[in-house]
A and B are shown apart, each in its own frame.
Chain A
Amino acid sequence: MELTSEENASLNGERGETLQTAYRILVATGEATNAEKLIPITWAHLSGVNYNTIGDAGEQFLRELSKDAHVKVKATVNPMGIDFDHISEFNHIDDEFIKKQASIRDSYIRMGVEPTFSCTPYDIFDLPEKNTQVSFAESNAAIFANSLGGLKTNKESAFSALASAITGKSPYSDLRKHNISTPMTIRMKMDNPDELDFGMLGFFAGKVGDTSVNISGVSQPNRRSCKALCGGMGTSGTCAKFQFVDSEDEKSEKVDFGKEEMNEVFDELNTAEKGDIITLGSPQLGLEELSDLSKMLKGKSFEKRCMIFCSRAVQEQARTLHYINEIERAGGEILSDCCTCLTPLIDTNETDAVTTNSIKGAYYLKNSTGVDVNLKPLSKIIEDETK
């Protein structure tokens, strides 16, 4: 990879240790993605915020880094493990977790990030103009940005996005260029798919696809389904972009996603017939989804605990529009700054299985939280779990 003399000076440590570390990461990721140079980016979205995922080593690393580092471009951050406004209601969370999570939060704020604590930055901010180069680490957000937002990003890692935030640069790799050679086409064979089907389609596509896939046989999914597709895809593989296509490119390799493929994904992630609690989110719910939910809950109440995750910014808007009133009246518990994935708010001493409509959530509930999962689309959750 070609570096400018200024970039080389930073890499050699002439501009301090922080920039040297950042450039070391950019060079390694540049080599990994066959980039020939670094280019400027305008927005970095960082992952690695939840103490549950980054642990003591991560907490300490960020504490040290934040003594000196400051972001150079707009930077937003992923969810934490907990919602500090509601933490007193969760007795099983120990003080150590709260202390370490607060330290991570404070380190990011010291570095100058916007304290969004959300995996859905596209639901909080207007997206910049098409083809703008950004660096998004959260996989669902990177896929959303590339596929639906018209932006350009690698499926960044926590460290590559952090390095981009500090330097304002990112490797100019294939995904950032305009033409990607003919990607595989996934043929959607399921009629009237709901958001759970889209999540499974994404999970399947992520497994079989390479960097980018075409998807045919799909018409105008709603935002909930689009987000489910991005979430599922980001969980299972390295795929960072999809395009909905009307006609199939003859040269493209084709793979069907039908009943059999769907059942295979379902059987991998669905391990229980019912859940002790319900979680909605992963990705966190947007304003439109909270509006839908409040309408679906009219005159109904949840029969068991239902945790609903959305960003703080979206929660504030939804409160003004009275969506939250209706959801809370129905017994829904609104939580912000955290999400289903890897939150310790789910008490595994009291919870054996969780009902959710999120494929991404299901993967991490099963593999990281260590509970069983009962998968259902939202319409079925409302039908079965409210009265």
Chain B
Amino acid sequence: MIKEIVSGTFGGRVLKTTSPINFLGAVDKKTGVIRDKKYDIYGKSIKDTVLIFPHGIGSSVGAYTIYSLKSHQSSPIAMICNKADLTVASGCALANIPMIVLDDDTIDDIENGMRITYSPGGNPPLFWN
């Protein structure tokens, strides 16, 4: 099941975390580096990745962090979540970052470092290897 929150085609390398992300507290808004040690992707940059994570948590201002990442050319290419939340959805909408929601089983199949492409009219629309 694919649910489009912010539409757009994309392709890139997967960076996947099992931690919900608090964009305000955990992500450097200029570089995209995860700076909270509690995350399993601590120290990595989300820049130019297809970022897969459960959902956003915490501050509503996290939406500005997503917009700021885009302004500094440090944003992910796209975001994929298990559950859509308002902060990530609205941040992606303003920053024009494609965002989709996938079911848990599909997300389980996609591994870190894989290449993933999405095009809404494609057959299948979502492809990874």
A residues adjacent to B (C-beta < 8 A) = 21, 24-25, 27-29, 31-33, 47-48, 50, 53-58, 60-61, 137-139, 154-161, 163, 206, 234-238, 363-364, 367-368
**10 pairs, CB–CB < 8 Å, chain A vs chain B:** A25-B90, A27-B93, A28-B99, A31-B84, A48-B61, A154-B86, A155-B60, A156-B86, A158-B62, A158-B87
Q: Considering the chains assembled together, what is the distance between the CA atoms of A60 and B68 in angstroms? A: 10
Asked if A58 and B67 sit within 8 Å, CB to CB, the answer is yes
Residue among B84, B85, B86, B87 with most chain A CB within 10 A: B86
* B101: nearest chain-A partner, CB-CB: A32
CB distance from B47 to the nearest CB of A (A): 15
Q: Considering the chains assembled together, what is the distance between the CA atoms of A60 and B64 in angstroms? A: 12
CB distance from B21 to the nearest CB of A (A): 12
Q: Which listed residue, A25, A32, A137, touches B94 by the CB 8 Å rule?
A: A25
Question: Which residues B46-73 have CB closer than 8 A to chain A?
Answer: 55-65, 67-68, 70-72
Given A158-B61, A367-B25, A368-B25, A61 contacting B67 (CB threshold 8 A): yes
A364 CB contacts on chain B under 8 angstroms = 25
B93 CB contacts on chain A under 8 angstroms = 24-25, 27-29, 159
B residues adjacent to A (C-beta < 8 A) = 3-6, 20, 24-26, 29-30, 36, 55-65, 67-68, 70-72, 84-94, 99, 101
Q: Considering the chains assembled together, what is the distance between the CA atoms of A265 and B65 in angstroms? A: 26
Asked if A155 and B86 sit within 8 Å, CB to CB, the answer is yes
CB distance from A181 to the nearest CB of B (A): 16
Asked if B90 and A29 sit within 8 Å, CB to CB, the answer is yes
Asked if B24 and A139 sit within 8 Å, CB to CB, the answer is no
* A137: nearest chain-B partner, CB-CB: B60
Asked if A47 and B68 sit within 8 Å, CB to CB, the answer is no
A33 CB contacts on chain B under 8 angstroms = 84, 86
B56 CB contacts on chain A under 8 angstroms = 238
Asked if B68 and A55 sit within 8 Å, CB to CB, the answer is yes
Q: Considering the chains assembled together, what is the distance between the CA atoms of A10 and B57 in angstroms? A: 30
* B84: nearest chain-A partner, CB-CB: A32
Q: Which listed residue, B20, B55, B62, B89, touches A31 by the CB 8 Å rule?
A: B89
